[in-house]
Structure 1
Amino acid sequence: MLDLFTGMATWPAVMLALALFFVLAYEFINGFHDTANAVATVIYTKAMPAHLAVIGSGIFNFLGVILGGLGVAYAIVHLLPVDLLLNVGVGHGLYMVYALLAAAIIWNLGTWYFGIPASSSHTLIGSIMGVGIANAMMNNQYWLSGINVKKAIDILLSLLISPTIGLVLAGLFLLALKKWRPESRMHMTPDERKAVDGKKHPPFWTRTTLIASAMGMSFAHGSNDGQKGIGLLMLVLIGLAPTQFAVNMDSTALQIQQTRDSAIHMRDFYLSNQARFQQINLGSNTGKPLPALFKCEAATTLPALESVIGTLSGVKNYSQLSSEDRRKVRRILLCLDDTAKKISKLPSLSSQDKADLNEMRKGLNTTTEYAPRWVIVAVALALGLGTMVGWKRIVYTVGEKIGNKGMTYAQGNAAQITAASAIGIASWTGMPVSTTHILSSAVAGTMVANKSGLQGGTVKSIAIAWVLTLPVTILLSGGIFWAASALFA
């Protein structure tokens, strides 16, 4: 880990160290801000003592990050356009990183302080979009050119649809439990059961399921939100220390060869389908050298493929390439991936052609979509430790302030199982979702199904936070980025 500062001047090294610290601080805050949702129901229903619940949740969050993969992480990284990721200088990159981190931390701490279950996912995505949009406007470009619009739409749709799914499915789940065992004590609140049986703990099997689903939700949260932290940390490292992180320096000779083979197959695919791609100029003069800085345009595709094939010829380890060549390889691979994604949307391509092109894209990304082990462990520790503090405010809101009545054991089960399943599926498909909004909407769904009614004030606060998070963080991060660039340019 410490070798990442090798060769850096003192001031950039200090700034990079601070950026890494603030990323981990954001993830620590995310731990006690979001993970309170994972333990809210299990604590409120007295299924587990609070101290055991948060310790268990922290452990399962840690495991979720370690075992969760990188699909969501790079969905976050690719929210910004390729050109912005590769063209930022050290100073410009620092302003970008600090602006989005400051905006995310300010909003997360503010909503946590007031006990409002706001979304860290919305917060992070809004902050990234803010610096991208600000960068485009500061360079006299169309404001939407500062973000990857297609990726942003996909992410925003997942953030919009997932709470609705949580509300409906949790409500239906509770209705099914009430029909299956209408007289069961699992339909009591802790206070109601104490009045009847003299104890607040849920019945044995209900308690077991509550604990299991809470730990499952913690694991799912770690695998989804932890990956966002990994993506943010890689965004910092790629932007501020591209010499060492432009490509995976630990790539094996086989992985590098796989990258080169995918480039060869992609070149042959394009050449054999040139007649079908007449509306797209892929650059027929493959002997034409690439300019020092080129844009990700279709016209550069074939020359770029020839360039990366030649550069990687005979390379067994990326240390054989100069730092500039490694940056060039990354630029080319990301540009080729960007073009391939667009071409895969053409209606003239068969399903088999699209599948082949997607496999080639995976091969191209073998050595660029990665995260060092220390990055994953650091994020896992920050999220896991953050889980163990600051949870009380959100637990109280989720347990008592969403519905007009306290939460029953069955409601806790229905909400947790629904939320854990939804977040787990999202992590598996590589889509970032909001733990906060899924669980809050699932609890609301069970309150409606139980005819408990909703507390208008709390629901209104959550809805306002849901609506305001994106625009506020976009404006906040964009404003900080613009101010820093203007003051220190």
Structure 2
Amino acid sequence: MSDALSLTGVGSTPARAEPSARGPNLNGRTHPAGIGLFFLVLAGGIGYALFNLITDMQAAGQPPLAIGAFVLLGLALLIALAFEFVNGFHDTANAVATVIYTHSLPPVVAVVYSGVLNFLGVVVSTGAVAYSVVTLLPVELVLKAGSSAGYAMIFALLIAAIIWNLGTWALGLPNSSSHALIGSVLGVGLANQLLAPAGSDASGVQWDQAWSVLRALLFSPIVGFVMAGLLLLAMRLMIRNRALYREPEADAPPPLWIRALLILTCGGVSFAHGGNDGQKGMGLIMLILIGAAPTAYALNRTMSEASTPGFVQLSERARTVFQKRAETAALPSPAAARTQITEAAGKKDLDHPEVYAALAALSNDIATQVKAYGAIRHVPAEATPNLRNDMYLASDAIHSLTKREGLFAGAEAETLKAYEASLNDGTRYIPTWVKVSVALALGLGTMVGWKRIVVTVGSRIGKKHLTYAQGASAEITAAGTIGLAEAYGLPVSTTHILSSGVAGTMAANGSGLQWATVRNLAAAWLLTLPAAIALAGLLYAGLRFVF
């Protein structure tokens, strides 16, 4: 059990993990009490999630699930949490590499410290990143998350991402879990479109959303490389203390102030990683919960009655905007409006009077229902799934329309964006217990299997040993970039930013790069997207025949 906490081995001991003349000793053993505590926290987390799931369902009046449905729900949740667990030991190992290789912290202390900061990052996260992943999925699958196709979607994209992450981890490659998950989402979207019957309006990938996400993923390594290198050069100009630019000596820790800086930056990266990467599984978990227990989770029942008048007023203002664009088109019934908007969204062709008339009818129906019930929290069980789908559909359509340049401007654009935000408040939320469960999975995962990635980042990117200044520059760049991305709701890769940051400092320092490792990292970066797309697409096609 030398590879876990260094707690529990997830694989064989990585090749060449032995300490070098100046490298850290990664082969220390963990006390049995530490291993026992690990499994105690794991069992407690599972019990906590199960208790809250049952409590929420009972409080909302959700009818008891059949045994088969409950088992399927439990399996889906376990796989989603397994993704975050793998994310923890795969991605967060990057954060601890610098403090371990500079002897700022012993390996076991470093991974526990990082795990705790990951936990806190997830718990205080906003949830913005969580739903940025969900918006990439085909609209009809999101609206029918509890259907056989919905479960096939969830299982396919999560299993594909886990398989690719474990494969790259086994090779010691700091590949991105975010990259793998986005690729899996795209694979499911493409497969859904290819498998649709001829003449149907099944949607595929939401390419407008996908491009903004892919842009962040693709350009963040370049930002990491350039900014970390520039930061190192700036530090050389402003901080003249030579100790900062030395390589670690034997097993001796760095001077106290340098050690504090490295520990602080490691904590910053871990916290930022939790706040960004930890959210990606949350959105998928919410899809699972909405599909299996819509009464309890389809609507945000924490919204108070005080928010109802403002929501109704926004709905009416949005309806006025849509009616103006509808021209002479008649308003359809709510059922016909749903069908029309879903078909138009699938074709990515919403800018038509008939669609605006449908949006006006749907907005009016949403406002009428919420006003009649007094608040979203009072919507009865039988009306919850339809109202949630209507709100999600309207929000998705408005988002697509307002992103088109020049289509809406001024007061109209402000009204629609405010209405979209109000709709999202009612449907896109994360219960506290989901955050805590994901935080535990990510935090515990940090403490498992970290050695392989640490060895690569710490000693195989540059030709020379990592200096204190290089470690700090890479960590500061990663923490700042990831934190900024979380604020804007963009999923980025801790792995890509930090490993490219280390490479950037090596280049700026004239240390030279180990091109064999750089080529492997670049190959993993380039192959992740197509490999995850293919894996998820094939799994989705196969699982459609299972569910």
Q: CA deviation at 1:88?
A: 4.7
Instruction: Give me the whole-angstrom Cα distance separating, in 2, the residues matched to 1:418 and 1:47.
Output: 19
Contact conserved, 2:184 with 2:533, CA < 8 A, in 1? yes
Q: Taking structure 1 as reference, are residues 285 and 295 closer, same or farther at Cα in structure 2, changes over 3 Å only?
A: closer
Give a deviation string over 1:305-344, Cα, whole Å, max 9, x none: 1211222223135464444422221222122222222332
Give the aligned partner of residue 357 of structure 1: 416
Alignment of 1:231-250 (within 5 A): 231-250=283-302
Give a deviation string over 1:161-214, Cα, whole Å, max 9, x none: 1110110010011111223345611111113xx4xxxx6322222211111111
Q: Taking structure 1 as reference, are residues 201 and 351 closer, same or farther at Cα in structure 2, changes over 3 Å only?
A: farther
Give the aligned partner of residue 511 of structure 2: 452
SS at match of 2:490: coil
Alignment of 1:99-110 (within 5 A): 99-110=156-167
- Whether 1:325 and 2:397 are equivalent positions in the alignment is no
Q: In the alignment, residue 188 of structure 1 is paired with which amino acid?
A: R
Q: Taking structure 1 as reference, are residues 140 and 457 closer, same or farther at Cα in structure 2, changes over 3 Å only?
A: farther
Unaligned runs of 5+ in 2: 1-52, 345-349
Contact conserved, 1:137 with 1:143, CA < 8 A, in 2? no
SS at match of 2:430: coil
Q: Taking structure 1 as reference, are residues 188 and 367 closer, same or farther at Cα in structure 2, changes over 3 Å only?
A: same
Give the aligned partner of residue 135 of structure 1: 192
Alignment of 1:107-122 (within 5 A): 107-122=164-179
Instruction: Give me the whole-angstrom Cα distance separating, in 2, the residues matched to 1:147 and 1:203.
Output: 52
- Whether 1:166 and 2:224 are equivalent positions in the alignment is yes
Give the aligned partner of residue 40 of structure 2: none
Q: In the alignment, residue 371 of structure 2 is paired with which amino acid?
A: S
Q: Taking structure 1 as reference, are residues 143 and 458 closer, same or farther at Cα in structure 2, changes over 3 Å only?
A: farther
Q: In the alignment, residue 469 of structure 2 is paired with which amino acid?
A: A
Q: Taking structure 1 as reference, are residues 366 and 258 closer, same or farther at Cα in structure 2, changes over 3 Å only?
A: farther
Q: CA deviation at 1:263?
A: 1.2
Give the aligned partner of residue 444 of structure 2: 385
Q: CA deviation at 1:457?
A: 1.1
Which of 318, 329, 335 matches 1:290?
335
Which of 311, 314, 319 matches 1:267?
319
Alignment of 1:427-438 (within 5 A): 427-438=486-497
Give the aligned partner of residue 396 of structure 2: 338
Alignment of 1:26-425 (within 5 A): 26-140=83-197, 145-182=203-240, 184-191=242-249, 194=250, 200-271=252-323, 274=324, 277=325, 281=326, 284-286=329-331, 288-291=333-336, 294-296=339-341, 297=344, 298=350, 299=355, 300-318=358-376, 320-344=378-402, 345-347=404-406, 349-425=408-484
Q: CA deviation at 1:409?
A: 0.4
Q: In the alignment, residue 168 of structure 1 is paired with which amino acid?
A: V
Instruction: Give me the whole-angstrom Cα distance separating, in 1, the residues matched to 2:544 and 2:224.
Output: 41
Report the TM-score, using the length of structure 1 for normalisation. Answer: 0.92
Contact conserved, 1:282 with 1:301, CA < 8 A, in 2? no
Give the aligned partner of residue 475 of structure 1: 534
SS at match of 2:336: coil
Q: Taking structure 1 as reference, are residues 308 and 181 closer, same or farther at Cα in structure 2, changes over 3 Å only?
A: closer
**Between 325-334 and 447-456, the greater mean CA deviation after superposition:** 325-334
Instruction: Give me the whole-angstrom Cα distance separating, in 2, the residues matched to 1:313 and 1:213.
Output: 49
Q: CA deviation at 1:404?
A: 0.7
Q: Taking structure 1 as reference, are residues 185 and 133 closer, same or farther at Cα in structure 2, changes over 3 Å only?
A: same
Contact conserved, 1:130 with 1:476, CA < 8 A, in 2? yes
Q: CA deviation at 1:6?
A: 4.4
Q: Taking structure 1 as reference, are residues 349 and 143 closer, same or farther at Cα in structure 2, changes over 3 Å only?
A: closer
Give a deviation string over 1:391-418, Cα, whole Å, max 9, x none: 1111110010001111000000000000
**Between 289-298 and 428-437, the greater mean CA deviation after superposition:** 289-298
Give the aligned partner of residue 6 of structure 2: none
Give the aligned partner of residue 31 of structure 2: none
Give a deviation string over 1:345-366, Cα, whole Å, max 9, x none: 3415335543332222111211
Instruction: Give me the whole-angstrom Cα distance separating, in 2, the residues matched to 1:461 and 1:182.
Output: 36
Instruction: Give me the whole-angstrom Cα distance separating, in 2, the residues matched to 1:222 and 1:282.
Output: 48
**Between 77-86 and 320-329, the greater mean CA deviation after superposition:** 320-329
Q: In the alignment, residue 475 of structure 2 is paired with which amino acid?
A: Q
Instruction: Give me the whole-angstrom Cα distance separating, in 1, the residues matched to 2:511 and 2:202.
Output: 44
Instruction: Give me the whole-angstrom Cα distance separating, in 1, the residues matched to 2:409 and 2:462.
Output: 51
**Between 431-440 and 323-332, the greater mean CA deviation after superposition:** 323-332
Q: Taking structure 1 as reference, are residues 41 and 72 closer, same or farther at Cα in structure 2, changes over 3 Å only?
A: same
Q: Taking structure 1 as reference, are residues 293 and 7 closer, same or farther at Cα in structure 2, changes over 3 Å only?
A: farther
Instruction: Give me the whole-angstrom Cα distance separating, in 2, the residues matched to 1:450 and 1:333.
Output: 53
Percentage identity across paired residues of the two chains: 44
CA RMSD of aligned residues (A): 2.2
Q: Taking structure 1 as reference, are residues 253 and 282 closer, same or farther at Cα in structure 2, changes over 3 Å only?
A: farther
Instruction: Give me the whole-angstrom Cα distance separating, in 2, the residues matched to 1:377 and 1:443.
Output: 31
Q: How many residues align?
A: 475
SS at match of 1:312: helix
**Between 431-440 and 297-306, the greater mean CA deviation after superposition:** 297-306
Instruction: Give me the whole-angstrom Cα distance separating, in 2, the residues matched to 1:131 and 1:450.
Output: 43
**Between 359-368 and 88-97, the greater mean CA deviation after superposition:** 88-97
Instruction: Give me the whole-angstrom Cα distance separating, in 1, the residues matched to 2:440 and 2:67.
Output: 27
Q: CA deviation at 1:92?
A: 2.3
SS at match of 1:173: helix
Alignment of 1:12-27 (within 5 A): 12-27=69-84
Q: CA deviation at 1:474?
A: 1.0
Instruction: Give me the whole-angstrom Cα distance separating, in 1, the residues matched to 2:241 and 2:93.
Output: 30
SS at match of 1:46: coil
Give a deviation string over 1:37-90, Cα, whole Å, max 9, x none: 111111111111112211111111111011111100010111113222113553
Instruction: Give me the whole-angstrom Cα distance separating, in 2, the residues matched to 1:437 and 1:381.
Output: 23
Instruction: Give me the whole-angstrom Cα distance separating, in 1, the residues matched to 2:229 and 2:469.
Output: 11
Instruction: Give me the whole-angstrom Cα distance separating, in 2, the residues matched to 1:314 and 1:470.
Output: 47
Instruction: Give me the whole-angstrom Cα distance separating, in 1, the residues matched to 2:327 and 2:129.
Output: 30
